[in-house]
Amino acid sequence: MRQHSSLARLLASAAVTAILIASVGGCQTMSDVTGSITSKGEPSPANDADPRRSAELYGEAYRANPKNPEAALAYGQALRTTGQRSQAVAVFEQATIAHPSNKLLLAGFGRALADNGNFQQAFDVLSRAHSPDNPDWRILSVQGTALDQLGRHEEARRYYASALKIAPDEPSVLSNLGLSYVLSKDLARAEEVLRKAHASGKADARVRQNLGLVVGLQGRFGEAETIVKADLPAEEAAANVAYLKEMLTRKSTSAGGAPAIPVAALKRRN
Same domain, 29 and 64: no
Same domain, 178 and 264: yes
Domain holding 84: CATH number?
Answer: 1.25.40.10
Q: In this predicted model, what pLDDT tens digit does every residue of 148-184 receive, in sequence order?
A: 999 999 999 999 999 999 999 999 999 999 999 999 9
pLDDT attached to residue 204: 84
pLDDT attached to residue 98: 95
pLDDT band for position 236 (cuts 50, 70, 90): confident
Phi, psi at residue 209, to the nearest 5°? Answer: -65, -40
For residue 247, the Cα-to-chain-centroid distance in whole angstroms is 18
Range of the domain at 120: 38-130
Of 109, 130, 151, which closes a domain?
130
Same domain, 181 and 265: yes
In a domain, 155, yes or no: no
Same domain, 8 and 49: no
Contact 111, 125 (CB under 8 A): no
In a domain, 137, yes or no: no
Question: Quick check: 199 pLDDT over 50?
Answer: yes
Q: From CA 239, how far away is CA 257, in angstroms rounded? A: 30
Residue 140 half-sphere exposure toward CB, CA atoms < 13 A? 22
Q: From CA 197, how far away is CA 171, in angstroms rounded? A: 4
Same domain, 219 and 240: yes
Of 130, 160, 185, which closes a domain?
130
Number of Cβ within a 10 Å radius of residue 235: 9
Contact 109, 96 (CB under 8 A): yes
pLDDT attached to residue 183: 92
In a domain, 146, yes or no: no
Regarding predicted confidence, which is higher, 36 or 45? 45
Provide mean pLDDT across the span 65-74: 94
In a domain, 164, yes or no: no
- Domains in the chain: how many in total? 2
